[in-house]
Amino acid sequence: MNDEASSIPLVSADHVVKIFNGGGQRSAAVRGVSLEARRGELILLLGPSGSGKTTLLTLMAGLCRPSEGKITLFGRSLADYARAELQRLRARKMGFVFQTFLLLDSLTVRENVEIVLRFSGSSKTGRSERAFGLLRDLGIASLAGKFPATLSQGQKQRVAIARAVANDAELILADEPTGSLETNQGIAIIRLLHALAKDRGKCVIVASHDLRLAEYADRILRLEDGCVVREEEGPSISGTCSPAKGRSGDAPAPPDPARSCGAGYG
């Protein structure tokens, strides 16, 4: 990958606002957020429940449109994509871990992963082998023939992660990917996502309320009430992670007033 390619953001948000109108109520879930994410980066959206993490990821996935501001995906404004183009882009270049997993109940675990490989050009056997390899890497090969309804939340989460990375996506958006996992399993997942960014040049954006994930991030955007209230560089910026060193919740952070709450929102 040349320098120019790695410097172009795969996804960017420019003063993005998302307002939901429902039941006569107007609710601003995202209020003037700007960010850019590039290849080789792991960005953490860190914030409490209701701070707008899922909405922001959904906007960056092109699954909903901003009320104000602009989303750019793979160098092109979201507004310029036709629906079919966006679907193809998502199928070929993007991977998602949804908070609710969204596994297909009528398919086995292995088939749930295989299905995202349908545009990969590989044979049925090749797809099946790749799916099984991913399940093995995630420690759930024994679940390959089971149906989602029979799995624990943590097992479902790992299937969702296998599915998100199966198509070798360039941009991976993961919503609370460690939320249902025991601590050790959660750390293994964030290490996997970190390795995808550092060793494979993927752009990974993770939403979480779990401060421990900050150890693995290049940048941490703290969200509160739909706004980025602070942006920090994470320890991963040097390409090395040293979780043992710890990073406390009140670690000093370089303030960035330019990204303060309410920009572009009245």
Under DSSP, is residue 232 helix (H, G, I), strand (E, B) or coil? strand
Query: Which span sits near ligand ADP by CB under 6 A: 7-15, 42-50, 180-188, 244-252?
Result: 42-50
Contact (CB, 8 A) for 182 and 154: yes
Contact (CB, 8 A) for 204 and 172: yes
Q: In what order do the strands lie in the sheet with 227-233?
A: 94-97, 171-175, 203-208, 42-46, 219-224, 227-233
Q: Does 72 bind Mg ion (CB under 5 A)?
A: no
7, 50, 79, 102: which one binds ligand ADP (CB under 6 A): 50
Least distance from ligand ADP to the Cβ atom of residue 152, Å: 22
User: What distance in Å separates the CA atoms of residue 71 and residue 16, rounded to the nearest whole number?
Assistant: 7
12-31: contacts with ligand ADP (CB under 6 A): 20, 22, 27, 29
Query: Which span sits near Mg ion by CB under 5 A: 14-22, 49-57, 63-71, 224-232?
Result: 49-57
Based on the number of CB atoms within 10 Å of its own CB, is 252 exposed (0-12), middle (13-18) or buried (19 or more)?
exposed
Q: Does 112 bind Mg ion (CB under 5 A)?
A: no
Q: What is the DSSP letter of 147?
A: -
CB nearest Mg ion: which residue?
A: 54
Q: Going along the chain, which residue ranges are E strands?
A: 11-22, 25-37, 42-46, 68-73, 76-77, 94-97, 171-175, 203-208, 219-224, 227-233
Q: Does 157 bind Mg ion (CB under 5 A)?
A: no
54, 155, 180, 236: which one binds ligand ADP (CB under 6 A): 54
Least distance from ligand ADP to the Cβ atom of residue 149, Å: 25
Q: Does 55 bind Mg ion (CB under 5 A)?
A: no
Q: Does 100 bind ligand ADP (CB under 6 A)?
A: no
Q: Which residues bind ligand ADP (CB under 6 A)?
A: 20, 22, 27, 29, 47, 49-55
